[in-house]
């Protein structure tokens, strides 16, 4: 199963032609607005990072050219000797489980690549400019531990320019708020793995001891209650929907996923709950009375080979895949299809301030970017004399090493955030 390079896939080609016309006229309108209002408010931020010749960028219709020609989400990883902007020494915000340098991962080649969209160049994230743009603003990441992984990458990059203060954390250190005092920029991460109201039952090791109760018709007020504060939001669902869960709708149990005949409940599948969740989330954030600009991030593929996380799967590759080599798993593909489908419905129905942050292909090509066994310092210590291939050390082939490929998610994020009109 190859990933579709064009997220607005083939089944919608007829609609697409119509939409292109609509988009064309909308863009002409926007360009016109841009021209006549340039001296007062520019809809295109001063941080013009679009990969076009600057002389061409002055031309009124260049907006159209870039939007149809460059899909920044499709491309390849190319060698880049400059390496990451931070290390385990210069960033103190890296979670131990993802601190591959500190934990003794022996190869470093995975740090020497940059994302190259097929038809243009993506500028590198500029932390000074980003912080300037974020002055007096509040950016929130909402999701699961991948969102946390992402926010830590962003903080590591930004803290090279301005050190951050943590001003809040919850009891489990899963939701946090930070401030960059010189820029009055506030950054949150909110732990809400389903984005829905859910009762989860886990011990401190993260092992479930009872089924998840998932409310498919109620959003998690942990994020909706705070939502009014945010100027920018990066939101995403993901792997939690694959777990055993009992579905509640209209105050009754409507079915379940992966409940193996328990209580005679109907197996409705994770596709059912994921679609319901995204519909509810997208309707909430696209409501015209809400002001935040939303980036809806697509699913993160994992790279377990020869097993899963709990059955000896591993990810010991040391090179990225080429564009033609990445194969998406059927579960990731299902989730992504639902995401694109529901996102498209939102986009067609409104002028909501929401764009897709499609990190899936970029991530799919990086089987080499995960901690693997290096979740702890020296995972093979003391096992030196034994055959390493026979030893079952638990691998993480889902989260990303910091520094690592997830740093490039920020290059895409800032491009989409600050040039919204190009990526709608
Ligand atoms: C950083 O990682 C190196 C190994 O790459 C290790 O020697 C060093 O102690 C680490 N430092 C910190 C502060 O984690
Ligand atoms: C800091 O930013 C917040 C919005 O995030 C704003 O309400 C507040 O007035 C700002 N403070 C200063 C001192 O500018
Ligand atoms: C829940 O109630 C609504 C409105 O009464 C109805 O349209 C919907 O089909 C119900 N859903 C389920 C799963 O019972
Ligand atoms: C499940 O269904 C079977 C057959 O309809 C019935 O005999 C049994 O009591 C049911 N079990 C529960 C827990 O409802
Ligand atoms: C989208 O939201 C951003 C951040 O709040 C804001 O600066 C921008 O003007 C909004 N764009 C539109 C078209 O509403
Ligand atoms: C990865 O591990 C497998 C099984 O231990 C081994 O056969 C393979 O050679 C390893 N690949 C690399 C690149 O180390």
Q: According to DSSP H, which parts of 38-57 are helical?
A: 54-57
Q: According to DSSP H, which parts of 126-185 are helical?
A: 127-133, 145-158
Q: What is the DSSP string of 214-228?
A: EEEEEE-HHHHTTGG
Of 257, 273, 276, 275, the closest CA to residue 265 belongs to 257
Residue 407 confidence (pLDDT) above 90: yes
What confidence score (pLDDT) does residue 385 get? 53
CA of 42 to the centre of ligand 5 (A): 11
How many Å separate Cα 241 from the centre of its chain?
Answer: 16
User: Ligand 3 atom closest to Cα of 217?
Assistant: 1
| 188 Cβ below 6 A of ligand 2 | no
Q: What percent of the chain has pLDDT over 90?
A: 69
Residue 150 confidence (pLDDT) above 70: yes
How many Å separate Cα 218 from the centre of its chain?
Answer: 23
What confidence score (pLDDT) does residue 388 get? 53
The mean of the pLDDT values for the chain is 84
As for ligand 4, residues whose beta carbon falls within 6 Å of it are 263-264
What are the b/e assignments for 331-345, b being 16+ CB within 10 Å?
A: bbbbbbbbbbebbbe
Structure-token pair, residue 142 = 């909402």
As for ligand 1, residues whose beta carbon falls within 6 Å of it are 88-89, 101-102
The whole-model pTM stands at: 0.83
Considering every ligand atom shown, identify the ligand nearest to the alpha carbon of residue 45 and give its number.
5
As for ligand 3, residues whose beta carbon falls within 6 Å of it are 249-250, 254
Give the pLDDT band of residue 204 (cuts 50, 70, 90): confident
Structure-token pair, residue 127 = 């932390």
What confidence score (pLDDT) does residue 31 get? 38
What confidence score (pLDDT) does residue 390 get? 53
pLDDT tens-digit series, residues 345-361: 999 978 899 999 999 99
Which residue in the block uniquely carries the two structure tokens 């506030």? Answer: 186
What confidence score (pLDDT) does residue 50 get? 39
More confident residue, 363 or 264: 363
Residue to substitute in 264, 265, 266, 267 for testing ligand 4 pocket (most ligand atoms within 8 angstroms of CB): 264
Of 171, 168, 190, the closest CA to residue 179 belongs to 168
pLDDT tens-digit series, residues 319-337: 999 988 989 999 999 999 9
Distances 154 to 86, 301, 419 between C-alpha atoms, Å: 11, 20, 19
What confidence score (pLDDT) does residue 383 get? 60
Query: What is the rounded CA–CA span in Å between residue 388 and residue 398?
Result: 22
Structure-token pair, residue 274 = 């994921």
* Phi, psi for residue 114 in degrees, rounded to 5: -135, 155
| 184 Cβ below 6 A of ligand 2 | yes
Quick count: other Cβ atoms within 10 Å of Cβ 200?
Answer: 15
Q: Is 230 exposed, middle or buried (0-12, 13-18, 19+ CB in 10 A)?
A: buried
pLDDT tens-digit series, residues 5-45: 443 333 333 344 333 433 433 333 333 333 333 333 333 33
Nearest residue (CA) to ligand 2, atom 6: 136
């Amino acid at each position: 199963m190859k990933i579709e390079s064009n997220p607005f896939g083939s089944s919608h080609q007829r609609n697409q032609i119509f939409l292109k016309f609509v988009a064309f006229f909308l863009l002409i309108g926007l360009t016109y607005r841009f021209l006549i209002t340039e001296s007062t408010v520019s809809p295109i931020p001063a941080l013009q990072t679009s990969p076009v010749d600057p002389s061409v960028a002055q031309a009124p219709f260049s907006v159209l050219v870039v939007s149809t020609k460059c899909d920044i989400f499709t491309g390849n990883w190319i060698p880049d000797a400059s390496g990451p902007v931070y290390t385990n020494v210069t960033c103190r915000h890296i979670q131990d489980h993802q601190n591959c340098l500190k934990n003794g991962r022996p190869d470093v080649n995975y740090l020497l690549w940059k994302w190259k969209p097929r038809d243009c160049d993506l500028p590198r994230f500029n932390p000074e400019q980003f912080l300037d743009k974020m002055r007096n603003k509040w950016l929130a990441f909402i999701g699961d531990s991948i969102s946390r992984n992402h926010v830590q990458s962003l903080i590591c990059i930004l803290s090279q320019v301005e050190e951050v203060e943590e001003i809040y954390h919850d009891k489990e250190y899963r939701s946090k708020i930070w401030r960059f005092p010189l820029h009055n920029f506030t950054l949150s991460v909110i732990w809400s793995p389903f984005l829905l109201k859910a009762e989860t039952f886990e011990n401190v090791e993260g092992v479930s001891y009872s089924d998840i109760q998932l409310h498919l018709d109620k959003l998690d007020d942990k994020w909706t209650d705070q939502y009014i504060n945010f100027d920018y939001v990066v939101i995403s669902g993901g792997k939690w929907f694959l777990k055993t869960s009992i579905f509640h709708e209209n105050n009754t149990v409507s079915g379940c996923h992966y409940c193996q005949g328990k209580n005679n409940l109907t197996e409705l599948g994770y596709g059912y709950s994921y679609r319901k969740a995204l519909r509810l989330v997208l309707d909430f954030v696209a409501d015209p009375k809400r002001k935040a600009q939303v980036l809806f991030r697509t699913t993160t593929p994992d790279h377990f080979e020869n097993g899963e996380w709990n059955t000896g799967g591993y990810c010991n590759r040391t090179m990225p895949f080429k564009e033609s080599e990445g194969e998406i798993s059927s579960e990731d593909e299902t989730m992504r299809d639902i995401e694109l489908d529901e996102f498209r419905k939102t986009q067609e129905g409104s002028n909501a301030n929401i764009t897709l942050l499609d990190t899936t292909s970029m991530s799919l090509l990086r089987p080499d970017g995960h901690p693997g066994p290096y979740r702890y310092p020296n995972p093979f210590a003391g096992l030196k004399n034994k055959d390493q291939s026979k030893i079952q050390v638990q691998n993480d082939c889902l989260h990303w090493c910091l520094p690592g490929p997830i740093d490039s998610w920020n290059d895409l994020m800032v491009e989409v955030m600050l040039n919204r009109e190009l990526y709608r």
